[in-house]
């Protein structure tokens, strides 16, 4: 019987441990924190978006960092397999907007709990508070791991599933990169992916906490369009966050690193053409003809944004509607369709939902997740140079790579 050591108790590590045990191996799961699944508990705002209903080509397309590398593993254990896996563990799931799959209970703890019950049923041994120092290798073949305290665990195969460097409080502190480097693996420099953005404009603080729905955000680098998304966003005390900001953050990060000027142009009313928006404003103005501008926009804009938009359109807030010129009205139309923010930097990698960069995929067998440099060493999850958009794509990647690593580690000779 193969003895397999899984290092890291996140989604990839938990799945790897289940699959290795299901395939007849004796499995030991080592976790540095005081409990497994800590990062899973905070994903999807504590609800855990386990996968997405998208077709496989679309799944791969949404894994922007080396999605093609995952073609084999995702096809071998796809989104339908993930849903069937959790349903088989007694976890009911539901589909939400954008094809996102959540547990019916809306509790990430139920996802982690279902996996833990599976591990206990399969006899997987779990040891927490175990910080691994390095992986032991003899004759270019893995033979175990050594902890920071000097304790040695022997094994026939090791699955490294230590996560990235985001949310370090959950245990993802980038330990796996150093372990892989020590064994000769290349590590692509890490950077934040799916991360909030800091902006220059001072008015941001006056609207912090404001959430916008159904808006379009276009990202520009030195005036050229680099990305665009539609949906929800959020103003914060430092800048912007929310789903569409996080999705654009990867391309924004790349352009900032090249020293380019990056701006976000927000269209608050993307469903309306400039002409239709102008007519809408004219109707509102007729309705509030005797009021001041500052008291006439509450049906068009969120209350927090009214003063900001009046200022950006260079309008006099106390001016009465019947005195507003066509030119002034068109300035307001333009401001609503091109609310522009200047991005100064991303938030720290510790605040990123996902880490881009990691162990070089060219040095990993894409079907088995085994190292091409060290026999019986496998990788799974975010420690690899893979990352995707929000919507369940990152967890799908973690589960697919974890399933492959666990299965093939159990089958290794």
CATH of the domain at 219: 1.10.8.50
pLDDT 10s digits, 27-52: 999 999 999 998 888 888 889 999 99
pLDDT at 166 exceeding the cut of 80? no
Which of 349, 408, 365 lies closest to 163, judged by CA?
Answer: 349
Specify whether 84 is located in the same domain as 186: yes
pLDDT at 6: 98
Residue 400 burial (C-beta neighbours within 10 Å; 0-12, 13-18, 19+): buried
pLDDT at 79 exceeding the cut of 90? yes
Question: Between 168 and 55, where is the model more confident?
Answer: 55
Domain final residue pick, 346, 362, 378: 346
Specify whether 132 is located in the same domain as 244: no
Do the bridges between strand 197-199 and strand 152-154 make them parallel or antiparallel, or are there none, so unpaired? unpaired
Report the C-alpha gap between 29 and 407 in whole angstroms: 15
Specify whether 224 is located in the same domain as 156: no
Domain final residue pick, 317, 346, 375: 346
State whether residue 204 is helix, strand or coil. helix
Domain final residue pick, 305, 323, 346: 346
Per the structure, how many domains does the chain have? Answer: 2
pTM: 0.90
pLDDT at 170: 64
Integer-rounded Cα Rg, in Å, for the chain is 25
pLDDT at 99: 96
Which residue pairs, CB below 8 angstroms and at least 24 apart, start in 120-124?
122/18, 122/21, 122/22, 122/27, 123/21, 123/26, 123/27, 124/17, 124/18, 124/21, 124/27, 124/28, 124/29
Check if the beta carbon of residue 186 is closer than 8 Å to that of residue 31: no
- Structural domain of 276: 196-346
Specify whether 214 is located in the same domain as 317: yes
Q: Supply the CATH number for residue 136's domain.
A: 3.50.50.60
Specify whether 87 is located in the same domain as 218: no
Specify whether 401 is located in the same domain as 261: no
Report the C-alpha gap between 250 and 264 in whole angstroms: 13
Specify whether 302 is located in the same domain as 181: no
Do the bridges between strand 3-7 and strand 26-30 make them parallel or antiparallel, or are there none, so unpaired? parallel
Specify whether 126 is located in the same domain as 140: yes
Specify whether 104 is located in the same domain as 176: yes
Helices 11-22, 393-411: axis angle to 10 degrees equals 30
pLDDT 10s digits, 253-276: 999 999 999 999 999 999 999 999
pLDDT at 202: 94
pLDDT 10s digits, 279-327: 999 999 999 998 999 999 999 999 999 999 999 999 999 999 999 999 9
Q: In degrees rounded to 5, what are phi and psi of residue 358? A: 135, -160
Report the C-alpha gap between 32 and 327 in whole angstroms: 63
Specify whether 121 is located in the same domain as 7: yes
State whether residue 374 is helix, strand or coil. coil
Q: DSSP string spanning 313-352? A: TT--TT-BGGG--HHHHHHHHHHHH-EEEEEEEEPPGGG-
Query: Within 13 Å, how many C-alpha atoms sit on residue 186's CB side?
Result: 7
Specify whether 177 is located in the same domain as 231: no
pLDDT at 337 exceeding the cut of 90? yes
Specify whether 179 is located in the same domain as 210: no
State whether residue 35 is helix, strand or coil. coil
pLDDT 10s digits, 84-109: 999 999 999 999 989 999 999 999 99
């Amino acid at each position: 019987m193969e003895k397999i050591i899984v290092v890291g108790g996140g989604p990839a590590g938990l799945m790897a441990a289940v699959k290795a045990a299901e395939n007849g191996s004796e499995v030991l799961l080592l976790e540095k924190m005081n409990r497994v699944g800590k990062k899973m508990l905070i994903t999807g705002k504590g609800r855990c978006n386990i996968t997405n209903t998208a077709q496989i080509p679309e799944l791969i397309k949404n894994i922007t960092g080396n999605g093609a590398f995952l073609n084999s593993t995702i096809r071998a254990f796809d989104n339908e397999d993930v849903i069937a896996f959790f349903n088989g563990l007694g976890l009911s799931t539901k589909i939400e907007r954008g094809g996102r799959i959540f547990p019916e209970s809306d509790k990430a703890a139920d996802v982690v709990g279902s996996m833990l019950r599976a591990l206990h049923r399969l006899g997987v041994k779990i040891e927490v508070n175990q910080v691994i120092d390095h992986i032991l290798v003899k004759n270019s073949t893995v033979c175990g791991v050594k902890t920071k305290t000097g304790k040695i665990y022997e094994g026939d195969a090791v699955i490294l599933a230590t996560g990235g460097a985001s949310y370090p409080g959950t245990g993802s502190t980038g330990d796996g990169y150093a372990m892989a480097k020590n064994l000769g693996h290349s590590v692509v420099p890490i950077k934040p992916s799916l991360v909030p953005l800091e902006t220059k404009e001072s008015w941001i603080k006056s609207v912090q906490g404001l959430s916008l729905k159904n808006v379009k955000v276009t990202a520009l680098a030195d005036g050229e369009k680099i990305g665009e998304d539609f949906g929800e966003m959020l103003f914060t005390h430092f800048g912007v966050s929310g789903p569409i900001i996080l999705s654009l953050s990867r391309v924004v990060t790349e352009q900032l690193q090249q020293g380019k000027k990056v701006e976000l142009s927000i269209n608050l009313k993307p469903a309306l053409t400039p002409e239709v928006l102008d007519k809408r404003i004219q109707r509102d103005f007729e309705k509030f003809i005797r009021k001041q501008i500052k008291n006439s926009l509450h049906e068009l804009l969120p209350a927090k944004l009214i003063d900001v938009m009046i200022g950006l359109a260079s309008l006099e807030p106390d001016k009465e509607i019947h005195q507003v010129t066509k030119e002034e009205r068109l300035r307001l139309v333009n401001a609503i369709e091109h609310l522009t923010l200047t991005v100064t930097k991303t938030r720290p990698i510790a605040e990123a939902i996902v880490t881009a960069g990691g162990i070089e995929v060219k040095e990993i067998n894409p079907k088995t997740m085994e190292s091409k440099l060290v026999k019986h060493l496998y990788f799974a999850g975010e420690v690899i140079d893979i990352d995707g958009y929000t919507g369940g794509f990152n967890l799908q990647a973690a589960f697919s790579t974890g399933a492959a690593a666990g299965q093939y580690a159990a089958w290794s000779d």
